[in-house]
Amino acid sequence: MQYDLIVIGSGPGGYRAAVLAAQRGLKVGIVEKAEWGGCGLNRGCVPKNDWHHSAKLIASSKAFAKRGVQGQLSGDLGTAWEHQKKVVKTVRDSYIGNMKRLGISGFAASASFVDANTIALDGHDRITAHHFIVATGSYPYVPKPFYQTDGKVLTSDELFNQPPPAGKRVAIVGSGTVGAEFAFILTMLGKEVVWISQTAPLSSSCFSPPTLKLLMDKFKQFGIEPKTGNRPEAVEMLPEGVKLILQGGEEVIVDWVLLGTGRRPHTTGLNLDAAGLNTDSKGFIKINEYLQTAQPNIYAIGDVTNPRMTANHALADAAVAVANILQAESRKHDRKAVPDMVYSALELGRIGLNGAAEKNDPAIGIATFDTNPRALGQDDADGFVRLVADAQSGVLLSGEVAGADAGELVHLIAQHYGQPDALQHLAQAYFSHPARAEEFFNAAEAIAAKLNLELPQQVISSS
């Protein structure tokens, strides 16, 4: 059977690639060996954000009394787990229904390359295609001395795959996004969290020091404080739980452990050599700026190519890969333009260059939410909008949002990032009042004033 495109993997990137290609008239097939929707839907951002919303509701209830609202909320992780499962099923059913409506062929099997134009399904049935997209995602990394143990040592995959273990006291291990997000989420959902972090939380991220400091201050408001500079040296399974022995000999006993220790690209079983594909020293498939592999007809997207490993990057890659399949080398990928998010005690969102660019003394505009009428009316005024521009050209280098609804507000930056007149557009736009989004105008206008940027004149037509 001959296809225009076969996508291997149905996670956020794979699913979007299949849909975009089918909408543009290509004959498309998608292969998935596990649950449709991949990690992002079943064990990643979708169920995590469901829990984060519950956590935010519980956190906001602490201010209910002064608003004249009586009572305070509390969390139950077991019920929250059941809720996310229903949400995931609803979304998964919609994915499958949409693929059927678009005529996308679905193969529930394991794919392996036979050559650059052929794959085998479960080692038997063969399918040929003009193009392939590898979108097989990643798997959790379990470092020594840990080993996965049912009900006692879990990754985020197991946490969403199975009902949570019994017990109130939970150790979270890791300084990255998973650690920062679940330290808040599990605390709000009724767990006593011990957060073990070898380095400062999110220290390897691209968020600026002011943003990270604000997040740490917010953690303290909820009694969350990481044990930094610590690494478990040994693990003992006890009848009543898990004992962690940290550097220096400190012992921590908990009911169960959640590992947030990173992920690795998932390429096992794909038989990449048969197709002539290359990987780097860390196992990522090598690609060019158009997301092509060593074989021009085979593209790779998402976690198998990108150490940042987010659904946002996979979705962006999907659009780039399909554009280049339709018209060769028509679109380059730009990871800087993809939003990076953290959903924790404070939502964080950013786009653009990392903090290293600020060594060139750029122009910075900050507008805080502490005087924003909308934020004050919601009892949630922590945070700010932070825009960074080149002091000579006025080109927007990066933007950050810290605070409520950062995951939505960051799209105001995404709409204009990469355009030479991005600041002018933000400073000239009209905004609703009261709205948190008004602070984009204030931050952009602050930079425009500093740099004496001339705003484009509006053209008023006469009839």
Where in the chain are all domains bearing CATH 3.30.390.30? 346-451
What pLDDT, on the 0 to 100 scale, is given for residue 357? Answer: 59
Q: Which CATH architecture has domain 346-451?
A: 2-Layer Sandwich (3.30)
Cα angle 425-429-433, degrees, rounded to a multiple of 5: 150
Half-sphere exposure of 285 (CA within 13 A, CB side): 32
Where in the chain are all domains bearing CATH 3.50.50.60? 2-139+264-336, 153-261
Side chain identity at 199, as an amino acid letter?
A: T
Q: 2-139+264-336 belongs to which CATH class?
A: alpha beta
Residue ranges in the chain whose pLDDT is less than 50 = 457-463
What pLDDT, on the 0 to 100 scale, is given for residue 463? Answer: 37
* Block residue for tokens 């049935």: 125
What pLDDT, on the 0 to 100 scale, is given for residue 359? Answer: 63
What pLDDT, on the 0 to 100 scale, is given for residue 358? Answer: 65
What pLDDT, on the 0 to 100 scale, is given for residue 366? Answer: 96
Selecting from 3.10.20.340, 3.30.750.210, 3.50.50.60, 3.30.465.10, what CATH number does the domain 153-261 have? 3.50.50.60
CA–CA dist 199, 145 (Å, integer): 18
Per the CB < 8 A criterion, the answer to whether 55 and 188 are in contact is yes
What pLDDT, on the 0 to 100 scale, is given for residue 428? Answer: 87
